C-alpha cells in the first residue's frame, strides 16, 4: 500500500517510520519543495497521507481514506477539502515532556534560577544571594495551578503539579472522570471564576472556533495581577494584542509562551514570533515551540502512527479519530 508523506516535517521521519511498519507500506516523500505535478500525481492515487498541512492550495486526493496528522493539532487540515468518507486521525506522545516543561516554567518563575545563575556566572555578582540580603524568592508549593483544557496534557500536568504540593483546578468542556489530582473543576461557563482563582493559568486546550481568542482583554483582566499565563497549545487561543498589552502594562504578573502567532520557514529561521515586541518585555519567558520536542515524544508518536497505518491496512478500527467525512 502506498502512503504519501506530505510536507518536509513528515518526510524527515521516513527513516523512523519505515522500520516501525515492518516494510508493509511504500512511503512516498513529498517535501515542501516537491514539484506540484509530482505531488498531484501521488495524491491522485494514494489512500493514505501523513501530514501536518492539507488545504485547498494543494492538489486533490480523490481516493483518500485516511489522513494521519503527524501531531495532535489538526488546525492545518481543511476538513472541507477532504474526499467523502476520509477519516482524520491525530497522534499524541507529547504529554510527558509538555507537562515537565510547565513544571519547569513554574519553578523557574518562582525561583528565578536563570537570573541567579547568570548573575553569578556572567556578572560575577552576588546580589541575588541569600547571604547578601538579596530579594526573597517564591515557592511553587501552595500555589493554585489552573489548567485550561483537561485532555492528555492537562491530565499529565495535573498529576505532576499536585505532587509539587499545589492546588490544581481545571476548566474543561467535559468535567467528568476527573483525575484525583484536580480539586475543583468548572465548565466553560465558569471560566471567569477559574481565571480569578489561579496563580498560574496553563493553556492546554485545543484550538477550535470556540477557543480561538478565548483569552481576550476582558478575560485576561479577570486574572490576578500577580498571575502568570503559560501557553503550550496554540498561540491564537490568547488574543495577541491583549496579551502584549497586559504584560506591558503589568495588569498580569507575566507569561511563559511556547506557542506563537508567527512561525518561520525553513529558509528563514529569524522570523519574529509576533508582530508585537514581546522580546522587549521583562516579564515573559519565550521559547520556540520546543516544549514537546524530545526523543521520547518522537518515538511514541511515530510508533502510534505506524500502528494506526497497520490498522488501516487490516481494516480495523482506527485510533484517535477526530473527523469522519
152 grid coordinates? 492528555
pLDDT value, residue 191: 98
Nearest in space to 191 (alpha carbons), one of 173, 171, 205: 171
Copy the grid coordinates of residue 185: 473543576
How many residues make up the chain in this entry? 325
- The domains found in the chain, sorted by start residue, are 2-93+295-324 (3.40.50.720), 95-286 (3.40.50.720)
**DSSP states of 70-137:** SSS--TTB-GGGSPTT-EEE-----HHHHHHHHHHHHHHHHH-HHHHHHHHHTS---TT-TTTTPPPP
- Check: CB of residue 244 under 8 Å from CB of residue 274: yes
Regions of the chain where pLDDT drops below 70 = none
Nearest CA among 56, 73, 101, 107 for reference residue 208: 73
* CA-based nearest residue to 14, from 293, 305, 251: 305
A 10 A CB-CB count for 115 gives 12
**pTM recorded for the entire structure:** 0.91
pLDDT tens column, 106-115: 999 999 999 9
Please state, in angstroms and rounded to a whole number, the distance separating the CA atoms of residues 15 and 163. Answer: 38
Q: 124 vs 73, 109, 116, 194, CA distance in Å? A: 44, 22, 10, 42
Sign of CA dihedral 55, 299, 172, 193: negative
Could you read off the pLDDT of 164-192 as tens digits, one per residue? 999 999 999 987 778 899 999 999 999 99
CB-based contact 78:60 (threshold 8 Å): no
Burial letters for 118-148: b for 16+ Cβ neighbours within 10 Å, e otherwise? ebeeeeeeeebeeeeeeeeeeebeebbbbbb
- Quick one: pLDDT at residue 177? 77
**Residue whose cell numbers read 465548565:** 187
Q: How many CB atoms lie within 10 A of CB 317?
A: 7
Q: What is the pLDDT of residue 202?
A: 98
Q: How far is CA 6 from CA 12, 36, 110, 184, 244, in A?
A: 10, 12, 42, 42, 35
CB atoms within 10 A of CB 104: 13
Closest CA to 111 of 285, 290, 291, 289: 285
> Which H or E element spans position 5?
strand 2-6
Torsion angles phi and psi, residue 201, rounded to 5: -105, 115
3-state DSSP assignment of residue 302: helix
State the pLDDT at residue 174: 83
Q: CB–CB of 31/8 below 8 Å?
A: yes
The pLDDT assigned to 187 comes to 94
Q: Are 79 and 33 in contact (CB under 8 A)?
A: no
CA dihedral 70, 31, 87, 98 (to 10 degrees): 10
DSSP secondary structure letter of residue 189: G
pLDDT at 267: 86
Amino acid at each position: 500500500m502506498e502512503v504519501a508523506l506530505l510536507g518536509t516535517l513528515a518526510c524527515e521521519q521516513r527513516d523512523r517510520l519505515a522500520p516501525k511498519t515492518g516494510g508493509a507500506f511504500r512511503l512516498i516523500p513529498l517535501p515542501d519543495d516537491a514539484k506540484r505535478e509530482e505531488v498531484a500525481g501521488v495524491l491522485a492515487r494514494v489512500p493514505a497521507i501523513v501530514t501536518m498541512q492539507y488545504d485547498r492550495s494543494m492538489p486533490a486526493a480523490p481516493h483518500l481514506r485516511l489522513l494521519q496528522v503527524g501531531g495532535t493539532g489538526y488546525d492545518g487540515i481543511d476538513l472541507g477539502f477532504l474526499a467523502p468518507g476520509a477519516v482524520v486521525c491525530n497522534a499524541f506522545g507529547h504529554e510527558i515532556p509538555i507537562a515537565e516543561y510547565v513544571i519547569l516554567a513554574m519553578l523557574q518563575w518562582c525561583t528565578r534560577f536563570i537570573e541567579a545563575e547568570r548573575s553569578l556566572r556572567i556578572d560575577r555578582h552576588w546580589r541575588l544571594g541569600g547571604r547578601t540580603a538579596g530579594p526573597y524568592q517564591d515557592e511553587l508549593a501552595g500555589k493554585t495551578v489552573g489548567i485550561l483544557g483537561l485532555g492528555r496534557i492537562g491530565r499529565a500536568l495535573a498529576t505532576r503539579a499536585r505532587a509539587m504540593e499545589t492546588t490544581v483546578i481545571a476548566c474543561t468542556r467535559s468535567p467528568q472522570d476527573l483525575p484525583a489530582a484536580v480539586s475543583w473543576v468548572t465548565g466553560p461557563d465558569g471560566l471567569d471564576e477559574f481565571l480569578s482563582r489561579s496563580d498560574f493559568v496553563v493553556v492546554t486546550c485545543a484550538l477550535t472556533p470556540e477557543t480561538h481568542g478565548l483569552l481576550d482583554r476582558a478575560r485576561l483582566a479577570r486574572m490576578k495581577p500577580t498571575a502568570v499565563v503559560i501557553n503550550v497549545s496554540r498561540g491564537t487561543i490568547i488574543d495577541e494584542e491583549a496579551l502584549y498589552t497586559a504584560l506591558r502594562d503589568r495588569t498580569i504578573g507575566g507569561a511563559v509562551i511556547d506557542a506563537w502567532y508567527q512561525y518561520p520557514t525553513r529558509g528563514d529561521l529569524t522570523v519574529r514570533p509576533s508582530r508585537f515586541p514581546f522580546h522587549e518585555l521583562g516579564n515573559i519567558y519565550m521559547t520556540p515551540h520546543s516544549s514537546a520536542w524530545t526523543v521520547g515524544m518522537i518515538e511514541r508518536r511515530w510508533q502510534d502512527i505506524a500502528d494506526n497505518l497497520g490498522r488501516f491496512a487490516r481494516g480495523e478500527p482506527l485510533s484517535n479519530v477526530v473527523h469522519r467525512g
